[in-house]
Amino acid sequence: MNTRISRRTMLKGIGATLALPLLEAMLPAALSRFPVRMAHLYMPNGIQPDMWTPATAGADFTLSPTLSPLAAVKNDILVLTDLWNAASNTGDGHYVKTSGYLTSTTITRTTGEELNSNGVSMDQVAARKVGILTPLPSLELGIEPPATGVDTNVGYTQLYGAHIAWSQPTMPLAKEINPKLAFDRLFRPRPATNREAAEVAATRDRSVLDLVAADARRLQQRLGANDRAKLDEYLDSVRAVERRIEWDARRQAETNLEDPAARAAIEELGRRIDAYSDPARLSERAGNHTEHTRLMLDLMAMAFWTDTTRISTFMFGNEVSGRSFAFLGGGVGSHHETSHHEHHADKLQHYQRINLWHVEQYAYLLEKLRSIREGDGTLLDQCMIVLGSGIRDGNAHSPKNLPIVLGGRGGGTIATGRHIVYDEKTPLANLWQSMLRRVGAPVERFADSTGELKGLDDPAFTSAS
């Protein structure tokens, strides 16, 4: 038996609701494909140019050293060369390139809080059109809180370095940087009444899956075999993310309680953790932040899988981020300082390792999406996931020939597995316009676009020349 159910069906329990993945039982008979999802993963501080671009174009290209972590998903990506953002080819430093990345506009120079990107970012153009179809119009994620103050070297407020998503020219969208809060936002609604608030408080330490277990059992009885298997797989994934978040929190509190000095240290650590738990100070996490990043990417994948949203952005860090990458070993240090390598061999080696780490996380997300079945294909088949940066070489700050990789087949409208070389200075906005149509928000023109990007759907297209 496979009873038709609403796409807005959720599993419910006291203090929790859980969105479901798209099931066959939710699809109207006339629907021939699943919705297309779109995400932008932003790398701050650019890349090492001579290690990024593949040597040859076409389907037979060899991944470059920096792109080598994408070997397992090579047939699911497009490497796009010679796209640029002309509007950001002005001003000093990084900030113009960051806040103008998804708007393809020139931001207004300011040292205060009166920000103006002079455009709406393409993700929010899409959210206005397709966001009404999902519980969340879009999901903005990141790792670091906005930096405050003025970068006196270039005369811009550092706030510009923390935003790529703009719902209005003067309104950047805040990123969620705490995986626990992001998980609650996706799966735990706010209490509607004082009574419900008390019930939630009484059950806040229980798993969201425990809270919706009875509803899940009732739903299972209404589903066909394929949907039951898919629901089981999905619930297992929710449980896995819950456990990883809980384990990450516990790990930071573990220490020896037998030594009196250790007990005193625990009390001090408790105070520090209380302060550290404030989302505004999350960037102070010491050491390896790979797990933090992957939790956020898992949450994005889950949001796409459940159709909680179809639009998302993720910033690996703020532009000009000085985050330490010492956990990579070999003397690697501050990201921004390393990006200003001045062609010194040791800094170039460290810069390359940081770039490689970013691509590894991108590969992690693509492989995660590819592991999730949807219809006759995978969730990745229904996605467009961009990895990119607003500058090429962190030492030169140039928005020419930007490092751009597009993952996923956009619902069967993109022929992947190629390196495409475009004419020099092809507008990045052409790609944005092409993606907007595929996600269901077509525009006649986006910023300085001259039309859609050629060859995305043509497997024989290798270059514009």
> Is the confidence at residue 122, as pLDDT, over 80?
yes
The neighbouring-strand residues paired with 83 are: 426
The one-character DSSP state at 365 is H
Calculated CA dihedral for residues 405, 407, 410, 416, nearest 10 degrees: 90
- Tell me the pLDDT band of 299, cut-offs 50, 70 and 90: confident
In the chain, what are the helix, strand and coil shares in percent, each to the nearest 5?
A: 40, 15, 45
Distance of CA 413 to the CA centre of its chain: 22
8 Å CB contact between 390 and 40: no
Q: What percent of the chain has pLDDT over 90?
A: 46
* CA–CA distances in Å: residue 10 to residues 7, 188, 197, 242: 9, 12, 20, 18
Q: Burial of 347 by CB count in 10 Å (0-12 exposed, 13-18 middle, 19+ buried)?
A: buried
* CA–CA distances in Å: residue 125 to residues 84, 251, 429: 20, 40, 13
pLDDT value for 205: 54
CA distance 250 to 263: 16
**pLDDT tens figures, 157-188:** 989 999 999 999 999 999 988 877 777 777 65
Q: Burial of 7 by CB count in 10 Å (0-12 exposed, 13-18 middle, 19+ buried)?
A: middle
- Mean of the pLDDT values across residues 83-87? 96
- Tell me the pLDDT band of 2, cut-offs 50, 70 and 90: low
Q: In terms of pLDDT, which residue wins out, 117 or 9?
A: 117
Candidate from 49-63, 148-162, 275-289, 413-427 with smallest mean pLDDT: 275-289
Q: What is the CA radius of gyration of the chain?
A: 23
Helix axes 290-305, 179-187, angle to 10 degrees: 10
> Is the confidence at residue 305, as pLDDT, over 80?
yes
8 Å CB contact between 67 and 79: yes
**What letter represents residue 351's amino acid?**
Y
Q: Burial of 230 by CB count in 10 Å (0-12 exposed, 13-18 middle, 19+ buried)?
A: buried
- Judging by DSSP bridges, how do beta strands 171-172 and 156-157 pair with one another? unpaired
* Whole-prediction pTM: 0.81
Average pLDDT, the chain: 82
Of 431, 440, 438, whose CA–CA distance to 413 is shortest? Answer: 438
pLDDT value for 273: 29
pLDDT value for 255: 33
Q: In terms of pLDDT, which residue wins out, 147 or 7?
A: 147
Of 184-188, 233-237, 349-353, where does the model show the most confidence? 349-353
Helix or strand or coil: residue 6? coil
Of 464, 461, 460, whose CA–CA distance to 423 is shortest? Answer: 464
Q: Where are the domains of the chain?
A: 38-189+287-439
Q: In terms of pLDDT, which residue wins out, 376 or 72?
A: 72
3-class secondary structure for 130-190?
Answer: HHHHCCCCCEEEECCCCCCCEECCCCEEHHHHHCCCEEECCEECCCECCHHHHHHHHHCCC
pLDDT value for 146: 87
Place of tokens 């100070």: 281
- Mean of the pLDDT values across residues 132-150? 89
Retrieve residue 133's tokens: 């179809």
pLDDT value for 225: 81
Question: Left if phi > 0, otherwise alpha if psi is -120 to 50, otherwise beta: which for 117?
Answer: alpha
Retrieve residue 173's tokens: 């969208």
8 Å CB contact between 253 and 274: no
3-class secondary structure for 114-146?
Answer: CCCCCCCCHHHHHHHHHHHHCCCCCEEEECCCC
CA distance 17 to 29: 27
CA distance 160 to 110: 9
Retrieve residue 371's tokens: 């592991």
pLDDT value for 387: 98
pLDDT value for 27: 65
CATH topology of domain 38-189+287-439: Alkaline Phosphatase, subunit A (3.40.720)
In a 13 Å sphere around the CA of 433, the CA atoms on its Cβ side amount to: 18
What lies within 8 Å, CB to CB, of 221 at 6+ separation is none
Q: In terms of pLDDT, which residue wins out, 148 or 66?
A: 66
DSSP of 16-85, one letter per residue? EEEE----GGGS-TT--SPPPEEEEEEPTT---GGGTS-SS-BTTPPPPTTTGGGGGGGGGEEEEEEEE-
